[in-house]
Structure 1
Amino acid sequence: MNSVLINGITMTYDDTGGGSDSAGSVLLLVHGHPFDRTMWRPQQGAAPGHRVVTPDLRGYGGTQVVPGLTPLSTFAADLAGLLDHLGVRRAVLCGLSMGGQIVLEFHRLFPDRVAGLVLADTFAQGETEQGRKERNDRADRLLRDGMSGYAHEVLDSMVSPATVADRPEVAAHVLGMMLAAPPEGAAAALRGRAERPDYTATLPTVAVPTLVVVGSDDVFTPVADAVFLHDRIPGSRLAVIEGAGHLPNLERPAAFNDALAGLLATVRESARDGADMTES
């Protein structure tokens, strides 16, 4: 684990793998709520030839907690600052759930720094009035009661029943991450997501290779949300991971990693084609 001062906070991250730092060779993995960088363990060794950067977001894992409200733009700026520190100009960004929304915000703010996108179990639409109230109420609850009650309530929705039965160690890992999440950090993220913008209009502007992936049994962001993204992002690929819930990268890592490998190969081909055109 590494740590660095970014935008006034101490951020922890893993930096693994080899390869050059050319466009498309760096993969930045962005975790969801209320998790930490360990949710990407099955992916850290699944991208040969790529440098894989896996941070704890502000308020989660080992990264500093800043109480209050953390907008998606702040998370995106932290990621840009981390890439600056690492000397990485462009990267493939992979985000799941809240991480996917952070990736969409990063693309909105820094499109020239994105070599490819993976949008996993996430959605682009803005928050509704009812959703805003529910997120703020949940933030209040986490600050008042801590993470335990919430974590146990949502576990069966985070992972599919098949995963709970067949891979109890995955369910235990997911529960452990949720229980360890700092309530102040999780609440600040919830309040920020309550104010998130609608990214629908930006989807047709995505001009990099994009993979949309979703668990077939995801109840938080169902397949219809993934189809919405896929239909609006030009040339995107859609992968539905059978037997997985909201966390297909943990529940069915082989299938998730196969889809990810296909996207990374496409990014590298695009980078080579661009270099060839420049040389000619």
Structure 2
Amino acid sequence: MTRTAQVNGISIGFDDAGIGPACVLVHGHPFDRSMWWPQVTSLTAAGYRVITADLRGYGRSTVVPGLTTLETLARDTFALLDHLDVDEVVLAGLSMGGQIAMECLRLFPERIAGLVLADTFAQGETPQGRTDRNRVADRLLAEGMAGYTTENLPKMMAAYNVAAMPDVAGHVRTMMLNTPPEGAAAALRGRAERRDYRELLTTVAVPALVVVGRDDQFTPVADAELMHRLIPGSMLSVIDGAGHLPNLEQPAAFNAALHAFLDQ
């Protein structure tokens, strides 16, 4: 059953499983915390406490129309940790979740014991990117999630996995269709205003892992390699047979990379 917490003027739906060092997993757009179930199962079995939450505007959390910045989403994440009386965490994020993790690093570096950036990128938004994100936001508000989901499912996963992995594809499709358009649009508008995190990454002083699906179209391997070069002493793992969601497309390989990182 979903737990909820009242923080920062909203209700956040979350799960808190396991006992041990705390790991926080931040989902991407347009998904919810259920995208992390293979990792929750694996990490809790290995002796970790795993906290997953629905970002504001997604899943079971409050929808706030308008524009939601990465800073707001980062502050929500740590307000939940305050509510749970959790001080220090290993923080992992995928795609938009990775950019939220980088914003958390900017705001709360002393509370991050390790960093995992999956299928994301550190560069600031381009003028064209800003235009495109706002146009997609307008479209979601006007049309809902159905057309967007149909067009983007073969990019969210590697196209060859959509047919080969019907259960995974069904899960991804359901998350996308169930995302409130107002929440997704607000986050897209916020991401269009995001800062550039490349310089920040050069200051990372904790263990870090960069992960990417070999066939990720949205955030290709080159983006992961750039972050790996910027972060001192970081590990890089490229997951074969996966696109933008290697944690769901190839969970065994993704989890192996995660455990190798956490156990070092």
Query: So what's the TM-score if we normalise by structure 2?
Result: 0.98
8 Å CA contact 1:215–1:245 kept in 2: the answer is yes
Q: CA deviation at 1:18?
A: 1.4
Q: CA deviation at 1:162?
A: 3.0
- Equivalent in 209, 212, 217 of residue 211 of structure 1: 209
Please show how residues 19-30 of structure 1 align to structure 2 within 5 Å: 19=20, 25-30=21-26
Residue equivalent to 1:245: 243
Distance in 1, matches of 2:246 and 2:194, equals 24
Distance in 2, matches of 1:248 and 1:242, equals 8
8 Å CA contact 1:17–1:45 kept in 2: the answer is no
Residue equivalent to 1:122: 120
Amino acid at match of 1:6: V
1:166 aligns with 2:149: no
Please show how residues 128-277 of structure 1 align to structure 2 within 5 Å: 128-266=126-264
After superposition, the C-alpha distances for 1:101-132 in whole angstroms (9 at most, x for unaligned) are 00000000000010100000000000000000
Distance in 1, matches of 2:155 and 2:47, equals 35
Residue equivalent to 2:6: 5
Q: CA deviation at 1:265?
A: 1.4
How many pairs align? Answer: 261
What SS does the aligned partner of 1:103 have? helix
- Equivalent in 62, 65, 68 of residue 64 of structure 1: 62
Q: CA deviation at 1:168?
A: 1.1
Backbone CA RMSD of aligned residues: 0.6
Distance in 2, matches of 1:209 and 1:259, equals 13
Identical columns (%): 63
Distance in 2, matches of 1:253 and 1:110, equals 29
Distance in 2, matches of 1:191 and 1:221, equals 19
After superposition, the C-alpha distances for 1:49-92 in whole angstroms (9 at most, x for unaligned) are 11000000000000000000000000000011011011111100
Residue equivalent to 1:87: 85
Q: Which runs of 4+ in 1 moved over 3 A?
A: none
Structure 1: segments with no counterpart, 5+ residues? 20-24, 267-280
